[in-house]
Amino acid sequence: MIVFLNGTFLPEADAVVPLSDRGFLLGDGLFETVRVSGGKPFRFAQHMERLAAGADFLKIRLPFTPVELQKFVSKLIEINQMPESVLRLTLTRGSGARGYSTLGADTPRLAMTLHSQPSASTEQPLKLSLITSSLRIPAGNVLATFKTTSKILNVLARAEAEVGGADEALLLNTSGEVVETAGGNIFWIGCGQVCTVPTGRGALPGVTRAVVFDVCKKLGFKTKEFIATPELLCQAEGVFVTQTVLGIVAVKSIDHFTIASSPLVEQLIHAYSKILRAESGGF
């Protein structure tokens, strides 16, 4: 596998980051996960907008422009011959003195790697089982707006769900409100409307989340953002999760309670697939 590190393409085994890198030591950095379809990074501009906003907030200098990065991504896909894959882009503040101070840490590092896209079955579409995590996201956490590399809460929540026999964790904030899953945004169907959690309550404004709003507008589905509880989700006409790698995935259960299956979810999955194919140059 060939990877990208600070402007150089090289074998993965030769890509070395020093122990002094603050991303390794402190989680001082950002990342983006991008779906690659038909050899093209899907909604790359939106991912770069979020990365740039996060870099500006954290005061980390982006070493390359979005245009330069897109060219590097295209070359990385071509070199590895992976037109259907998952791109991981990681930006760290770079190396600095020991401790929390950012003084002197002014040489950021940017790495990009490609990973295999999970295969999907058309005969048995994936459906997720969720368990509500005991961990809580701070309500109104400003860092939730960005994909920082400090994701230990999500890691522990996913591990907790897997130990409990579920696929994924449902995360609440410190006010007891539904926020997201460990790896995606949460939606539900209520009164024929497609509903989700408003941003600013601890949820990441996901790129695929934004695609769902585009899809709903095209299909004429009404959308609504409001605060919800796990109990409300269990009473919904349907629940689904959005994330970069898998797109839209229906939820089959929450805390071992069976969730209703809504035909609207299937329509959204189909419409999302059409957009993905259209923007990647497929048929």
Is the same domain home to 258 and 237? Answer: yes
**Other C-beta atoms lying within 10 Å of the C-beta of residue 244:** 20
pLDDT per residue over 73-121, tens digit each?
Answer: 999 999 999 999 999 999 999 999 999 999 999 999 999 999 999 876 5
Is the same domain home to 139 and 59? Answer: no
Is pLDDT above 70 for 58? yes
pLDDT per residue over 223-235, tens digit each?
Answer: 999 999 999 999 9
pLDDT at residue number 141: 86
For residue 191, the enclosing domain spans 127-279
pLDDT at residue number 186: 98
Is pLDDT above 70 for 259? yes
Whether residue 122 lies inside any domain: the answer is no
* Closest to 187 (Cα-Cα) out of 121, 232, 133, 138: 232
Is the same domain home to 109 and 145? Answer: no
Is pLDDT above 80 for 129? yes
Query: What is the amino acid identity at position 6?
Result: N
Tokens 């696929």 -> residue: 167
Is the same domain home to 89 and 138? Answer: no
127: part of which helix (H) or strand (E)? strand 127-137
pLDDT at residue number 119: 76
Whether residue 212 lies inside any domain: the answer is yes
pLDDT at residue number 121: 56
Is pLDDT above 80 for 281? no
Sheet holding 85-92, edge to edge: 8-11, 2-5, 109-116, 85-92, 29-37, 40-41
Which has more pLDDT, 167 or 142? Answer: 167
pLDDT band at 10 (very low <50, low <70, confident <90, very high): very high
pLDDT per residue over 159-212, tens digit each?
Answer: 999 999 999 999 999 999 999 999 999 999 998 899 999 988 889 999 999 999
Q: How many distinct structural domains can be found in the chain?
A: 2
Whether residue 272 lies inside any domain: the answer is yes
CA 163 to chain centre: 22
Is the same domain home to 85 and 108? Answer: yes
Write down the H helix ranges in the chain.
22-26, 44-58, 66-80, 152-163, 207-219, 230-234, 263-279
pLDDT per residue over 233-253, tens digit each?
Answer: 999 999 999 999 999 999 999
pLDDT per residue over 18-41, tens digit each?
Answer: 999 999 999 999 999 999 999 999
Last residue of a domain, one of 116, 141, 160: 116
Give, in order, the Cα–Cα distances in Å from 88 to each of 35, 179, 225. 9, 24, 29
Is the same domain home to 86 and 139? Answer: no
CA 180 to chain centre: 11
pLDDT at residue number 201: 87
pLDDT at residue number 283: 41
Is the same domain home to 198 and 254? Answer: yes
Last residue of a domain, one of 86, 116, 146: 116
pLDDT band at 124 (very low <50, low <70, confident <90, very high): low
Residues 6+ apart with CB under 8 A from 18: 95
pLDDT at residue number 122: 55
**CATH code of the domain containing 78:** 3.30.470.10
Whether residue 243 lies inside any domain: the answer is yes
